[in-house]
Amino acid sequence: MSSLGVKLPLARDASDGYGMIKSFKTMIRQNFKMLLLTSPGERVMEPEFGVGLKKYLFENFNEGTFAKIERDIFRQTEIYLPVITINEISFNTTRMDSNQLGVQIRYAIPNLNIQDLLEFTI
C-alpha cells in the first residue's frame, strides 16, 4: 500500500524505513495535532499558522481562558483544516492544581464519514 506521509515523531520501521501514514484519518489527525501544538510564527512561510496551546501554560484557567482557546481552535481549523468539522471541545479541569489542563476535541471528517476524538494535556 502506498503511503501518504511520514509519521511524527520519526521512528525507524523495518518495512518502510520510517513509520509511514497509510490512511487519511491518521493523516488528518496528525495534521490537526500539529495545528494545535504549533505556535504562530513557528512554521516557515506561514507566520499565522498554529493555535499555539503552549501560550496558555501559565494562564489562570477560567471560563474566559477556555473561550479564548476554543475561539483560536475554531478559527485556525476553519482556515487551515476546513476538511474537519469540530463537534465539541471540552476541558478537564480536575488537574488544574498541578497546572495541567486536559483538552478533548470531538471532530468529524464529513467527506470520509469519520468521527474521531483527539485528547491531550497542556
Q: Which CATH class is domain 5-121?
A: alpha beta
What distances in angstroms separate CA 83 from CA 5, 31, 60, one per listed residue? 17, 11, 32
Stated pTM of the model: 0.86
Residue 79 C-alpha cell reads as: 482556515
Which pLDDT does position 95 carry in this prediction? 62
- What does the pLDDT look like over 68-118, one tens digit per residue? 999 999 999 999 999 999 999 998 877 656 667 889 999 999 999 999 999
Mean pLDDT value across residues 47-55: 92
Rounded CA gap, 90 and 86, in Å?
A: 11
Which pLDDT does position 39 carry in this prediction? 94
Which amino acid, residue 57?
Answer: L
